[in-house]
Amino acid sequence: MSGATMSAATVIQLSYLIAAALFILGLKRMSSPVTAVSGVRWAGLGMLLATIVTIVFMGATPLDLGLVLGAALVGGGLAWVSGKRVAMTDMPQMIALYNGMGGGAAAAIAAVELYRGETGNATHLTIALIGGFIGSVSFSGSLIAFGKLQGLITKSVRFGGQKLVNLAILVATLAVGATIVAQSQAAAPAVTGFFVLALLLGIAMTLPIGGADMPVVISLYNALTGLAVGFEGFVLDNAAMIIAGTVVGAAGTLLTQLMAKAMNRSLGNVLFANFGETGAATGGLTGTQKPIEASDAGVMLAFSQKVIVVPGYGMAVAQAQHKVWELCQLLIDRGVQLRFAIHPVAGRMPGHMNVLLAEAGVPYELIADLDEVNAEFETADVALIIGANDVVNPDARNNRQSPIYGMPILNADKAKNVIVIKRGQGQGFSGIDNALFVLDQTRMLYGDAQSAANQLIHAVKAAG
Amino acid sequence: MIDGVIALYIFMLAAFTGYEVISRVPVILHTPLMSGSNFVHGIVLVGAMVALATADSTLARVIGSIGVFLAAGNAVGGYVVTERMLRMFVSAGKKQERRP
């Protein structure tokens, strides 16, 4: 090996070392609100460094260099534009989309390595196959998740024996993979079959999962992409990929568990129980929903001492966070003691509501999580529910038959009065009847969250 | 190839690091952090570039180009959305300071 190539390899390795350190420090800084922005910039610096050093020193032919730059510019350019334009409320599906792209890239690396058809050693082949498998599942699964959240796929495909079919696809994929390893020779048709089956599995696994479970699924696929990147890092001898991929794999797994726990469900339950949109097992509710006019609701709010606001996905859909904060500022100026109560899984991702409220400019100290705020509902004059549903359903505490029984909820039903802003009388996202809506102290304010908040602002102002 | 046992050590230490880094995160940062970790695995871009640069057939070049395209989308998109989300937390903090 000549001195020149030695130094190029060394430069690349050193840049990867620095990048890996910056990723870890960046993630660490992202875990506190004060340093969070600098965290992502540190990680971005690491990414930029590793990318530029790789382009300069990897020794590609002009043709290949052109392909690399062209593909990177097109992919990066499209992502830049879409990422800048997307509304805050649509963030979850964009994360799903970009995550799927990462999984697809890991699978593509595996494919390039496997189609080479070299008789590699069994370990090398196995690792490439595992990474390719996980990456493919994450790719097609994330795209389905994106399609569902974006409203491109509205039905959850379910049929009898679905789990058996999925299991059969999984077994077939593993069998093809095992054959490739056993022959220690990656024949092109076998490799193609392997990837087609893995992609199919990602689609088949994700299609039956209901919209309410998508956050957990996206988080899971995020962890899986990390693992796939880590495995392909081993294949390519790339320490930056191994470290970054594994760190994300571990962090993502933990995050997925936290999310599943907040919904009182196990991961297996999310993936295989096909909940989310079924919920048919609830007995009919006794009692009716009682409507209220915005003017009356405004008066009720204006003359309260203590109000707790519970935002949910409905607020996100209606982009109502600014109007809601305007309303709350009016109430605060009138001397109302006001807090926001955030359920861990309100919206479509943990922290989704916090992001939206931060966008509107709500100070942190007004935002409380489940444990902090639950005791306070009993002393609240009004609990104002804005487009939230399952996270305030008392059936989770009281009704053993309910599919969400056991899920920790915000005890909005303990408040003296409950005002629910809701688009219509129907069931929510998960299709489960909500016992809160028919309680004696509950009044329904029908309409989309944006216009309802607007009407309430006028009503509060009119209350003098 | 990175020696087998060394590779396992790297794997183990990185896994513990990931677990530790995220275990003390407040719920309000879960979505940004998921987005941030989504950006970090965008490092797959350097692997995809190397795989494309060492491609030895048209098929490998096509797949490699797709890989670089996807990886660049992951890295750039992941960065843009994470930064946008986190910037809001900063501005919320500043507004809060300005309030009397």
Domains in chain A: boundaries: 1-85, 88-277, 294-462
Instruction: Kindly identify which residue of chain B lies nearest to residue A86, measuring between CA atoms.
Output: B81
Cα–Cα distance measured from residue A154 to residue A290, given in angstroms and rounded to the nearest whole number: 30
- Partner-chain contact B52 A82, CB within 8 Å: no
Q: Is residue B19 part of a domain?
A: no
- What range defines the domain where residue B36 resides? 28-98
Give, in order, the Cα–Cα distances in Å from A119 to each of A9, A147, A259, A331, A374: 25, 39, 43, 72, 62
> Quick one: pLDDT band at residue B90, thresholds 50, 70, 90?
low
B 35-64 residues with CB < 8 A to A = 35-53, 55-57, 59-61, 63-64
pLDDT at B94 over 60: no
Instruction: Kindly identify which residue of chain A lies nearest to residue B22, measuring between CA atoms.
Output: A251
Average pLDDT over residues B57-86: 94
pLDDT in tens, A93-105: 899 999 999 999 9
Q: Which of the given ranges, A161-170, A427-436, B18-27, B73-82, has the highest pLDDT on average?
A: B73-82
Give the pLDDT score at B17. 92
**Which residues neighbour B79 within 8 Å (Cβ) at sequence distance 6 or greater?**
A40, A43, A44, A47, A83, B39, B42
Which residues of chain A have a pLDDT value below 50? 1-2, 276-282
CA distance B73 to chain A (A): 5
Cα–Cα distance measured from residue A50 to residue A20, given in angstroms and rounded to the nearest whole number: 9
Q: Is residue B62 part of a domain?
A: yes
Ramachandran assignment for A260, one of left (phi > 0), alpha (psi -120 to 50 degrees), beta (any other): alpha
**Domain tally for chain B?**
1
ipTM comes to: 0.90
pLDDT at B1 over 60: no
A390 catalytic per annotation: yes
Q: Are A285 and A219 in contact (CB under 8 A)?
A: no
Q: Are A134 and A221 in contact (CB under 8 A)?
A: no
**Which residues neighbour A97 within 8 Å (Cβ) at sequence distance 6 or greater?**
A142, A143, A146, B77
Instruction: Give the closest residue to A60 by CA, choosing from B66, B65, B69.
Output: B65
Cα–Cα distance measured from residue A349 to residue B30, given in angstroms and rounded to the nearest whole number: 8
Query: Chain-centre distance of CA B41, in angstroms?
Result: 3
Q: Is residue B14 part of a domain?
A: no
Which residues of chain A does B68 touch, with a Cβ-Cβ cutoff of 8 Å?
67-68, 71-72, 75, 105
CA dihedral of B62, B64, B65, B69, whole degrees rounded to 10: 140
Q: Return the CATH number of the domain spanning residue range A294-462.
A: 3.40.50.1220
Helices A62-85 and A36-57 sit at what angle, rounded to 10 degrees?
160
Query: Percent of chain A, pLDDT > 70?
Result: 92
Q: Is B8 on the interface with A (CB under 8 A)?
A: no
Which residues of chain B does A236 touch, with a Cβ-Cβ cutoff of 8 Å?
47, 50-51
CA distance A365 to chain B (A): 9
Give the pLDDT score at A161. 79
Cα–Cα distance measured from residue A208 to residue A205, given in angstroms and rounded to the nearest whole number: 7
**Which residues neighbour A115 within 8 Å (Cβ) at sequence distance 6 or greater?**
A186, A188, A191, B57, B59, B60, B63
CA-based Rg of chain B, rounded to a whole angstrom? 19
Give the pLDDT score at A401. 78
Among A390, A395, A413, A433, the active-site one is: A390
Which residues of chain B does A122 touch, with a Cβ-Cβ cutoff of 8 Å?
none
Q: Residue ranges of the alpha helices (H) in A352-441? A: 352-360, 370-373, 395-398
Q: Is residue B36 part of a domain?
A: yes
Q: Is A72 on the interface with B (CB under 8 A)?
A: yes
